[in-house]
Homo-oligomer: A and B are copies of this chain.
Amino acid sequence: MADTRFFHRTGPYTLGHIASITGATIERGSVDLILNDIAPLDLAGPGQLSFLDNVRYRDSYRASNAAACFVAPEMVEHAPEGMALLVTKTPYKANALAAQAFYPDIWPQSRIAKSATIDPTAKIGEGCIIEENVVIGADVELGKGTWIEANTVIGASCVLGDRCRIGSNVTLSHCHIGQATRIYPGARIGQDGFGFAIDPSGFVKVPQLGRVMIGVHVEIGANTTIDRGASGDTVIGDGCWIDNLVQLGHNVKLGRGCVIVAQVGIAGSTIFDDYVVVGGQAGFAGHLKVGKGARIGAQSGVMRDVPAGAEVMGFPAIAIKQFMRQAAILNKMTKSKDKK
């Protein structure tokens, strides 16, 4: 269903092949059924594979003309006649894997554009793709097969691992980036943090002498900004997903697998344990600790430490149940006033 002007489709694949690469079980349909594309339930037709992940879309599922569908076990009985069924507890993930098969992430051939400026002391790994007008400073090291898109600037001494992809118009400085990490267009990583001492004659800049250390398989969104450490490092753990327009101050440390939705701001020296999830536009004061697996609601303002596993929301952020109760009480108060 994707526009082939922009996306290259492979296949077709048999139902059996799709089952094998996704771990789903064929509940109905022939192993040899030919599938040539993926599509949403309401648009899918013959030869197309779909998925049902949310009960909200059950009616679309019942009416769908998809040739095959990923479904949870409990949805099998609601399937329309003639639809092949691939049963899995994780239909969304199975569909992601099938989509990766039909539309693989194809990288360009290795090349170094003539208009790129690469300092002679930089070490460029085998098979890199370095596009137009890229500027690479002294002593930079790029791993094998790393892709630097056009008009990006990589400051002196940065180290990037293998198979990284750095989008266009990005600025990197004072950083180490692990393998297979992806930075989206316009991100700014490694600039001086916001550090000054107050003086009667104005502000005295505090030299920012740390780095940004980014793990492997990290995603960092478009126009996001990550300042380097003031003393010691700013750290992004392996497998973190950071969305667009996020601000991370100096010496922020994120554990492994954290998810930070768009426009979040985290002030300096706040430390996240692993698997913390933060909704969009939330903000964190500096020098806080956020425990493992904590979940922070969108737009929250976090002013205190958050224990592991806690779910908080609001400003100042409180337990999500308490937040909902406050909102309900306030609504009731204003409504009873209406009646007077």
Which of B131, B156, B247, B330 sits near A326, CB closer than 8 Å?
B330
B157→A153 contact, CB < 8 A: no
Interface flags, A64-96, vs B, CB<8A=1, else 0: 000000000000000000000000001011011
**With an 8 A cutoff between CB atoms, is A178 at the interface?**
no
Q: Are B333 and A337 in contact (CB under 8 A)?
A: no
Contacts of A113 in B (CB 8 A): 117
Residues of B within 8 A of A334 (CB): 322, 325-326, 329
CA A221 to CA B208, docked complex, whole Å: 14
Q: A283 to chain B: which residues have CB within 8 Å?
A: 263, 280-281, 298-299
Is A11 interfacial (CB-CB < 8 Å)? no
Are A205 and B100 also in contact (CB < 8 A) when A151-B169, A247-B263 are?
yes
Q: Is residue A105 contacting chain B, with contact meaning CB distance below 8 A?
A: yes
Contact of A149 among B153, B205, B265, B318 (CB under 8 A): B153
A276-316 contacts to B, CB under 8 A, are 280-281, 283, 285, 298-299, 301, 314-316
| Given A197-B90, A204-B93, A232-B40, A2 contacting B188 (CB threshold 8 A) | no
Binary contact readout A132-158 vs B (1 if CB under 8 angstroms, 0 otherwise) = 110100010000000001110100110
**Stretch among A26-34, A122-130, A209-217 lining the B interface:** A209-217
Asked whether A209 lies within 8 Å of B7 as measured between CB atoms, the reply is yes
List the B side residues contacting A257 at CB < 8 Å.
202-203
Among the listed B103, B115, B188, B194, which residue makes an inter-chain contact with A186, where contact means beta carbons less than 8 Å apart?
B188
Number of interface residues of A (CB under 8 A): 105
Assess whether A272 is interfacial by the CB under 8 Å rule: no
Known contacts A171-B186, A202-B217, A315-B299, A132 near B150 by CB under 8 Å? no
B132 touches A135 (CB 8 A): yes
Classify the interface of chain A: helix, strand, loop or mixed. Answer: loop
Flag whether A339 is at the interface (Cβ < 8 A).
no
Compute how far the CA of A203 lies from the CA of B132 in the bound complex, rounded to whole angstroms: 32
Chain B CB count within 10 A is highest, among A100, A174, A222, for A222
Whether A184 contacts B174 in the complex (CB less than 8 A), given A132-B117, A223-B223, comes out as no
A232 to B262, alpha carbons, bound, how many Å? 21
Chain B contacts for A285, CB-based, 8 A: 298
Contacts A191-B222, A194-B241, A225-B262 aside, 15 further interface pairs with beta carbons under 8 A come to: A6-B156, A6-B211, A105-B207, A135-B150, A153-B169, A171-B185, A186-B223, A188-B244, A194-B261, A203-B259, A223-B223, A263-B263, A265-B280, A281-B281, A299-B315
Would you list the 8 A-B pairs with minimal beta carbon distance, nearest first?
A93-B197, A2-B209, A171-B185, A188-B222, A225-B244, A153-B168, A96-B206, A135-B150
Roughly how many angstroms separate A185 CA and B152 CA in the complex, as a whole number? Answer: 11
* Contact residues in B for A331 (Cβ distance below 8 Å): 318, 322
A91 to B107, CA, bound (A): 52
Most chain B CB within a 10 A radius of its CB, from A93, A197, A204, A225: A225
Q: Which residues of B contact A204 (CB under 8 A)?
A: 93, 96-97
